[in-house]
A and B are shown apart, each in its own frame.
Chain A
Amino acid sequence: MRYLTAENVSKSYGSTVALSPINLSLSQGELVTLLGPSGCGKTTLLRIVAGFNAPTTGRVLLGGRDVTPLPAAKRQMGMVFQAYSLFPNLSAEDNVRFGLKVRGLSGAESEKRLKTLFALIGLEEARKRYPHQLSGGQQQRVALARALAIEPQVLLLDEPLSALDAQVRLNLRDEIRRVQQETGTTTLFVTHDQEEALAISDRVVVMEKGKVAQLGTPEEIYRRPATPFVAEFVGTANGLDAVAQEGGVIAVAGWSAPVQVEAARTFAVGERLRLYLRPEELRLRSSPADGHLSGTVTDKRFLGSVTRLSVRVGETQLVADLQGNEAAAYPVGEAVWVGLSPLAAHVLRATA
């Protein structure tokens, strides 16, 4: 069932279009992420939903009711901001209590809710502390509790993790998802970090230049990107120029022989394509094998859980990820044979 809907929403500043007309619906309890580089319109859309900006066209519906004319204060939407939005003069618990006080909630009732919320974010011992006595991650957790205190109809998260250290970011990201699922709060999350988006979303909206580039589950976005932009923005991909030939065979620029890719069957002969190969889906061998391309290992990067090999194939440069110590079998400078799994390779029509 549609719960939160942005219907034909767009935003222009003079002749500059920040957001082309967009349609987006969230079901109750769903977490949808707006993902894209800065300036793609994701924050603009979030702010329109929040009520901080008025859309140029379209409307925002909440539970079937048009909330477009309502100011932010009347929308019953909780919001967590990029950084340090806690009221500096109030302790953590008074920050969380703020929205309840505004609503005139009784002491006993609000105390009960405070207790639940601080247990939820795991900061019971820090209730009396002031924002400057809390770490960045703790501040954002308090901000989350504050947004949830008003039992919002929708939770809006505006890059809440981007100001935090890597480790804290990872923990808090999972925590946000856990809290969101426990409370069943419909959530719109904005980020430019694709890993974050894939990890916690039910669905992801990839945005490019004020338009929706693709809307789908994290897996769809990653495995079946709809446009070259999505393929290159989400995850790491080897992108190669190619031309379609007969029966799923494509000629990759810089390679000596054409290759067979199932996904290319639908394209007309002679069409210009982009071939995308995920680094973890390339198979390497140290001896020649049927259907494998010969290449040379040119570089090796140890990334922790995987080792990333750079391989020169023809006139192109590919990266391949190998697990554990598999990479030890392929020294830099040695010959290597690369196999493309025909189903994992992804082909898109090249954009001009």
Chain B
Amino acid sequence: MRASLLSRTGRGAWIVLLALYFFVPLVALGIYSLWAGGTRYDLSAYAQILQDPKFHETFRLSAVLAAETILISLALVIPAAFWVNLRAPGLRNVLGLLSVLSFVVPPIVLVGGLTSLFRGPEWFVGTPQFLVAGYVVLSLPYTYRTLDTGLRALDLQTLSEAAQSLGAGWNTLLWRVILPNISSAVLGAALLTFAIVLGEFTFANVLLFNTFAVYINYIGQTQGTPAAALSLISLGITWLAMLGLLRFGRGRVALGGAR
């Protein structure tokens, strides 16, 4: 009795400790972001950030780059992962290994490689679009893993053959059968990519493009309370994205098997 009470208190204390560890800095950051000098607290730091045209500009740029990265990654990875799972399961490990290369190669090396690989054309390397090339590689581990897991949950061969016997070509098969059945994996991959692109600093900074992460860094180094406010805003954006993922992920179709 005593022992169980003790262990229960111990567990409770542990959880409280964990909560403190996570939330104290956040609360402190929140309080600091509201500080307006002396004993005054208000939302002026938030107002300043939200009114800063650079905030909107950089956020919009990063969001557009993220959308492009998502589209390109999905267009590359879905057919590849589908094909490997269906026809060449032996190559799955090779693809898995390739996809995590960006974990092994530091971003600073990657960006060096990119600049020496792409010398032109000007409309590509001269604009922030250039970053997308690197972002696709950076997000590859997440997109590939997520989509591969989604595809593995399906009996691809039977589904493909069933669709084919009903007269469907590869296009119909991918769009009407495969994609709808991995929609939560696709969404997961998209959100992860979005978060990565939004927070990516090294590429943009080295290549001198003004993205959201570069802006956050700039504010952080030059201003006090607005930096705290900005951190919380970007944290909020990430949380909203995660929430969306959880909401969407729940109540998806149950796969396979009989009742």
Do A and B form a real pair?
A: yes
Specify the chain B residue showing the minimal Cβ separation from A140. B258
Q: Does B180 contact A (CB under 8 A)?
A: yes
Q: Does B159 contact A (CB under 8 A)?
A: yes
B159 touches A85 (CB 8 A): yes
Using Cβ atoms and an 8 Å threshold, which residues of chain B touch A89?
177, 180-181, 183, 253
B166 touches A102 (CB 8 A): yes
B155 touches A73 (CB 8 A): no
Interface residues of A in 284-339 (CB under 8 A from B): none
Q: Does B164 contact A (CB under 8 A)?
A: yes
Q: Give the CA-CA distance A136 to B161 in the complex, in Å.
A: 19
Q: Give the CA-CA distance A111 to B143 in the complex, in Å.
A: 40
Least CB distance from B164 to A in Å reads 4
Q: Does A103 contact B (CB under 8 A)?
A: yes
Name the one of B159, B161, B172, B258 contacting A102, with C-beta atoms under 8 angstroms: B172
Interface residues of A in 65-103 (CB under 8 A from B): 71-79, 81-90, 98-99, 102-103
Q: Does A185 contact B (CB under 8 A)?
A: no
- When A and B form their complex, what is the total count of cross-chain residue pairs whose Cβ atoms lie within 8 Å? 93
Q: Does A150 contact B (CB under 8 A)?
A: yes
B104-148 near A? 1/0 per residue, CB < 8 Å? 000000000000000000000000000000000000000000000
Q: Does B259 contact A (CB under 8 A)?
A: yes
B167 touches A99 (CB 8 A): yes
Using Cβ atoms and an 8 Å threshold, which residues of chain A touch B167?
73-74, 76, 99, 102-103, 150
Q: Give the CA-CA distance A72 to B256 in the complex, in Å.
A: 24
Q: Give the CA-CA distance A240 to B129 in the complex, in Å.
A: 81
A88-124 near B? 1/0 per residue, CB < 8 Å? 1110000000110011000000000000000000000
B161 touches A150 (CB 8 A): no
Q: Which of B165, B180, B259 has the most CB of A within 10 A?
A: B165
Using Cβ atoms and an 8 Å threshold, which residues of chain B touch A78?
165-166
A50 touches B165 (CB 8 A): yes
Known contacts: A84-B158, A102-B166. The answer to whether A133 contacts B259 by CB under 8 A is yes
A88 touches B164 (CB 8 A): no
B147-175 near A? 1/0 per residue, CB < 8 Å? 00000001100110111111111001000
Specify the chain A residue showing the minimal Cβ separation from B177. A87
Q: Give the CA-CA distance A82 to B159 in the complex, in Å.
A: 12
Using Cβ atoms and an 8 Å threshold, which residues of chain B touch A143?
162
Least CB distance from B255 to A in Å reads 5
Q: Give the CA-CA distance A86 to B259 in the complex, in Å.
A: 14
B166 touches A146 (CB 8 A): yes
Using Cβ atoms and an 8 Å threshold, which residues of chain A touch B255?
88, 132
Interface residues of A in 49-73 (CB under 8 A from B): 50-52, 71-73
B165 touches A87 (CB 8 A): no
A85 touches B253 (CB 8 A): no
B258 touches A135 (CB 8 A): yes
B258 touches A134 (CB 8 A): yes
Q: Does B254 contact A (CB under 8 A)?
A: yes
Q: Does B38 contact A (CB under 8 A)?
A: no
Using Cβ atoms and an 8 Å threshold, which residues of chain A touch B168?
73, 98-99, 102
Least CB distance from A64 to B in Å reads 22
Interface residues of A in 141-196 (CB under 8 A from B): 143, 146-147, 150, 156
Q: Give the CA-CA distance A143 to B155 in the complex, in Å.
A: 15
B253 touches A132 (CB 8 A): yes
Q: Give the CA-CA distance A52 to B164 in the complex, in Å.
A: 9
Using Cβ atoms and an 8 Å threshold, which residues of chain B touch A86?
162
A52 touches B161 (CB 8 A): yes
Q: Which of B155, B161, B167, B169 has the most CB of A within 10 A?
A: B167
Name the one of B162, B172, B176, B257 contacting A85, with C-beta atoms under 8 angstroms: B162
Name the one of B172, B176, B177, B259 contacting A134, with C-beta atoms under 8 angstroms: B259
- Taking Cβ atoms with an 8 Å cutoff, the residues of B that contact A are 154-155, 158-159, 161-169, 172, 176-177, 180-181, 183, 253-259
Task: Kindly list the 8 A-B residue pairs having the minimum CB-CB distance in the complex, ordered from nearest.
Answer: A99-B166, A136-B258, A132-B254, A89-B180, A79-B165, A85-B162, A72-B164, A85-B158
11 A–B contact pairs at CB < 8 A?
A51-B164, A72-B161, A73-B169, A76-B167, A82-B158, A84-B257, A87-B180, A89-B181, A132-B255, A146-B162, A147-B166
Known: A74-B167, A85-B158, A88-B181. 19 other contacts (CB 8 A): A50-B165, A73-B165, A73-B166, A76-B167, A81-B158, A81-B162, A84-B257, A87-B163, A87-B177, A88-B253, A89-B177, A98-B163, A98-B166, A98-B176, A102-B166, A102-B168, A132-B257, A146-B162, A147-B165
- Taking Cβ atoms with an 8 Å cutoff, the residues of A that contact B are 50-52, 71-79, 81-90, 98-99, 102-103, 130, 132-136, 139, 143, 146-147, 150, 156
